[in-house]
């Protein structure tokens, strides 16, 4: 179940955060900026956390671009790669957040996953 949730979270982050289609998800810089803004709003990031979060989001947006978005991949390979990349990102993200923020992040991820399930079924 965690694997499926991670896959859907990956897709949601691309689709909803950028508010664009998967055919044109925007540049890594645009996606990272939107993700950082959303995290700042929903997680109440501090000014001290913001630079590290911005760097992390840009790093992983570029990795997603190179390894998932740019290559001509089948859907399963895209999901699989995106899931692995998301796990690595979350391992780096968790130490940057407080326990309260991490719980909010998990709730944010769960809410997005729930929305996807409702749209699918």
Q: Domain residues of the chain, as ranges?
A: 2-20+27-36+48-120
C-beta of residue 9 within 8 angstroms of C-beta of residue 109: yes
Please give the model's pTM, rounded to 2 decimal places.
0.76
d(CA 32, CA 30): 5
pLDDT at 14 over 60: no
d(CA 49, CA 4): 29
Question: Which pLDDT score, from 0 to 100, does residue 16 have?
Answer: 47
Question: Which pLDDT score, from 0 to 100, does residue 1 have?
Answer: 59
Place of tokens 């896959």: 7
The backbone torsions φ and ψ at residue 48, rounded to the nearest 5 degrees and listed phi first, read: -70, -35
pLDDT tens digits for range 61-118? 999 999 988 888 887 888 789 889 999 999 999 999 999 999 999 999 888 778 766 7
């Amino acid at each position: 179940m965690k694997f499926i949730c991670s896959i859907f979270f990956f897709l949601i982050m691309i689709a909803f955060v950028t508010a664009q289609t998967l055919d044109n998800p925007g540049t890594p810089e645009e996606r990272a900026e939107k993700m950082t803004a959303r995290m700042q709003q929903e997680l109440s990031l501090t000014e001290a956390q913001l630079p590290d979060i911005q760097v992390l989001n840009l790093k992983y947006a570029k990795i997603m671009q190179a390894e998932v978005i740019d290559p001509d991949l089948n859907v399963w390979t895209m999901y699989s790669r995106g899931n692995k990349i998301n796990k690595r990102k979350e391992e780096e993200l968790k130490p940057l957040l407080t326990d309260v923020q991490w719980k909010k992040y998990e709730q944010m991820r769960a809410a997005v996953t729930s929305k996807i399930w409702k749209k699918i079924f």
